[in-house]
Amino acid sequence: MTVIVSAHYDSTGGSSTARGPGADDNGSGVVVLLEALRVLANAGFKPKDTLEFHFYGGEEGGLLGSQAVFSSYKSSAKKVLAVVNQDMAGYSPSGKLSIYTDYVDSALTAYTRVVATAYIGSTTSDTCGYGCSDHASARSNGFRELTHLPWSESDGDANSQPTPAAAAYVCDEPMDTSTPYIHTPNDVGLSCRSFLSQRLVSLLTQTTGLFHHYVGCCTPTRQVHSCILGRGLVSLRGPGGI
Helix (H) / strand (E) element for 72: namely: helix 64-75
- Bridge partners of 83, per DSSP, are 4, 167
240 or 214: which carries more pLDDT confidence? Answer: 240
Read off the DSSP letter of residue 97.
E
Q: What is the pLDDT of residue 240?
A: 32
Domain ranges for the chain, please list them.
2-237
**CATH H-level, domain 2-237: superfamily:** Zn peptidases (3.40.630.10)
DSSP SS3 for 227: strand
- Quote the CA–CA distance of 36 and 48 in Å, as a whole number: 18
Do 151 and 214 contact (CB within 8 A), yes or no?
yes
- Which tens digit of pLDDT belongs to each residue from 49-72? 788 999 999 999 999 999 999 999
